[in-house]
Structures are given as C-alpha cells and as structure tokens.
C-alpha cells in the first residue's frame, strides 16, 4: 500500500492533514469589491449576501454567495428589443413609473427648411413637459417602410403629462407626408416655421454652397435662360417658398386649427412671444419666457441664457446665423414680385399677415 503525503500515526492510521488557513482577508476584499460594483452601476440594486458557516468538523472552506438583484434590467432590455411592447406597457408598472414609455410623437415640426425649425426645437425642449428627438428622423419622407414600431423606438421616454416631439422640415413639401401622418394619428399637432420666402431661398442656397462650392450662381439657378428669363419654380430653393401650394395638401388631412405657424422673423425679434404662443398651442403651461433668452449680437440671433445648473449658455451651431451670399438687387426684386401673390394667398389661408415685403 502506497504511503500518503502525511505521516502515519502509530498502528498504521494516517494522521489528519493540518487545518487549512481560511483566507478571510481575501474573501472579504472580493466581497466588498463586488458590493461596491453593484451599488455603483445600479442605484436601485438590492445586494444579497449569503454566508453559510461550516459545520463543526468540516474542513472545506465554504463559499460566499453574493448577487445583485436589478429589478428593472430585464424590462428595459425587453423594451429595447421590442419598442411596440414598450409603448403598450401599462403606465402603472414600476418600470413605466420610473422611466416612462416610448410613445409616438403627439406633435411634429414639419417645416420649413431654413425657416428656424432648429431654433424652435431647441427653445421648446427646455420645457420640462417636452421630450424631443434631437436628430431628424425623416420617417414620413424617407423611412416610412420601416414601420411605426421602428419610428416609436427612436422616441424619447415620456412620463404621464409629457409630450414627445420630433422635427423634420422636409415633411412640409413631401406630397405623401400629410396622408402618412394622418394615418398615424389625426390628432397630431403640426408646427410650421415660416420665413420670408426670398430670404429663405437665399439662406438655402448659402447652405448648399458651403457643401458644393462649384454651384452656379444664385441668379442662374433662380431664373431660366441663364438668369434672363422668368423665375424657375422647379428649383427646390424657390419651390419650398410656395407655402400656399404645400399647405393645400395638409388641409385635406388636418383642420387649420391643428396647425400652428411660427414666424421666423418674430422668432428672432421676440423669441419669448413666439414660444409663448407655441406653448399655448401645445396645451403647456408658459414656462419658457423672456428670462430664458438673450440676444447674441455676434450671431444676430437669440440664445438661451446660462441655466441655474451652471452649464454654459446655449447658442445654435456655427452654421446658424451665417452671412448670406450677396445677391443683386434686381434679382431680389424680381423674386419679391414673383412671391407676392403666393404670399397673399397664404396670408388668407392661415388668417395672419407675415408682412414679407
């Protein structure tokens, strides 16, 4: 019979091995580290520590069982996998009560390009009851085939009493957009930011020129026959400004009372007034007021004041408020003559005079 590693006692009986030293400092260190990890990454975590003492005479070191119970993790993962399930989950559940649900937007900024839509979005989203998507989703013009569940998944979570919102200014000139939005909900509130169509066209061209510096001149694009003929309304920068033409499509799906028009000019001269009227339209308490704004003379545009939280003042990006390219006065006058009857018709349709002269 082979001898073991330990010496035999008398009469051939093997001696018991020396008792193991319990590495309590090591185990305690691991335990504390794990508990801190759980507390750090989940403020709502419940840390359960189970320690079973070894019964008398048992030589083996017993393991500690430590677990972090994260009550919302599984629900949040399920919502991310299935946005439709998130939207239909009851608001009375603990997950919904804390994080809110992803709902389809109840308000949309649908236009117009270079009218001031980004400013309106940034100004209104400081209201505590407004949650907005920061980027343009282009769902109703480019991504409609992805379906409403995909669209819902892009929305921010909202609590009861909050409204979700997104802006894509190309919706206003997209023929299919009014019908598609109405199919989602006929109760959607629509916001249209309009601006003097001549100034808007020049701003549109200025932005395009920064991306494509070899473009023909503004006059060549705006007028037929090398700038000598009539206004070319097929050029997108000109066509967008035919507001009455585009509004007709929207009024076939939505009543005028459900569409709010923001003046791009008044947004610069009186941002608090325009935001006050917008809050009324959305059924919100007037929280965004003149105390939130100051006029930045360098940009020539209002900015948000420094909040009490200590963050920096918020101005729109460097692409906003850029200097427009110089346009001959005769070209501007011909464009004003072209737009005048269209503007008058638009004033009559919406019941207000924007004074674009």
Catalytic residue numbers, as ranges:
114
> Does the annotation flag 329 for ligand binding?
no
Cα(68)–Cα(37) distance, integer angstroms: 9
Establish whether 322 is an annotated binding residue. yes
Segment (H or E) for 189: strand 189-194
Give CA–CA dist 158/164, Å, rounded: 7
Is 321 marked as binding a ligand? yes
116 marked as part of a ligand binding site: yes
For residues 217 and 227, the answer to whether their CB atoms sit within 8 Å is yes
Q: Work out the burial of residue 230: count CB atoms within 10 Å of its CB; fewer than 13 is exposed, 13-18 middle, 19 or more buried.
A: exposed
Q: Is 147 annotated as a binding residue?
A: no
HSE-up of residue 225 (Cα within 13 Å, Cβ side)? 4
CB-based burial label for 346 (10 Å; 0-12, 13-18, 19+): buried
- 323 assigned binding-site residue: yes
Nearest to 143 by CA among 156, 157, 154: 154
- 94 annotated binding-site participant: no
Question: 300-308: long-range contacts (C-beta < 8 A, 24 or more apart)?
Answer: 300/268, 301/119, 301/268, 302/119, 302/267, 302/268, 302/271, 304/122, 304/123, 304/126
Residue 157 assigned as binding residue: no
* Annotated binding-site residue? 289: no
Q: Is 117 annotated as a binding residue?
A: yes
Question: Are the beta carbons of 118 and 168 closer than 8 angstroms?
Answer: no
Task: Name the one residue in this structure whose structure tokens are 């900024």.
Answer: 109
Q: Does 81 appear as a known binding residue?
A: no
Question: What does the alpha-carbon distance between residue 44 and residue 338 come to, in Å, rounded to a whole number?
Answer: 63
d(CA 288, CA 123): 8
What residues are designated binding site for 3'-phosphoadenylyl sulfate? 114-118, 195, 203, 320-324
What residues are designated binding site? 114-118, 195, 203, 320-324
């Amino acid at each position: 019979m082979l001898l073991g590693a330990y010496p035999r006692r008398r009469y051939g009986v093997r001696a018991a091995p020396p008792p193991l030293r319990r590495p309590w400092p090591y185990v305690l260190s691991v335990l504390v580290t794990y508990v801190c990890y759980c507390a750090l990454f989940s403020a709502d975590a419940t840390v359960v520590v189970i320690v079973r003492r070894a019964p008398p005479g048992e030589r083996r070191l017993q393991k500690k069982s430590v677990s972090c119970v994260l009550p919302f993790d599984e629900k949040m993962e399920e919502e991310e996998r299935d946005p439709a399930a998130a939207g239909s989950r009851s608001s009375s559940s603990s997950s919904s009560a804390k994080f809110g649900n992803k709902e389809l937007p109840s308000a949309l900024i649908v236009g117009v390009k270079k009218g001031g839509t980004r400013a309106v979005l940034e100004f209104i989203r400081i209201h505590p009851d407004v949650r907005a998507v920061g980027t343009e989703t282009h769902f109703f013009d480019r991504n409609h085939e992805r379906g409403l569940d995909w669209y819902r998944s892009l929305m921010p979570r909202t609590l009861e009493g909050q409204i979700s919102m997104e802006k894509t200014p190309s919706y206003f000139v997209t023929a299919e957009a009014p019908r598609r939005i109405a199919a989602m909900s006929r109760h959607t509130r629509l916001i249209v930011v309009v601006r003097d169509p001549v100034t808007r066209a020049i701003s549109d061209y200025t932005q395009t020129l920064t991306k494509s510096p070899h473009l023909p001149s503004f006059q060549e694009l705006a007028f037929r026959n090398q700038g000598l003929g009539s206004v070319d309304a097929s050029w997108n920068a000109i066509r967008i400004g035919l507001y009455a033409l585009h509004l007709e499509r929207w009024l076939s799906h939505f009543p005028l009372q459900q569409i709010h028009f923001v003046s791009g000019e008044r947004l610069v001269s009186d941002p608090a007034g325009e935001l006050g009227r917008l809050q009324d339209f959305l059924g919100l308490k007037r929280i965004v007021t003149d105390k939130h704004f100051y006029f930045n003379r360098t940009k020539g545009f209002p900015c948000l004041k420094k909040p009490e939280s200590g963050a920096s003042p918020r101005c729109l990006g460097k692409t906003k408020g850029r200097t427009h390219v110089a346009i001959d006065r005769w070209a501007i006058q011909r464009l004003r003559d072209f737009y005048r009857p269209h503007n008058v018709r638009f004033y009559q349709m919406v019941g207000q005079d924007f004074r674009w002269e």
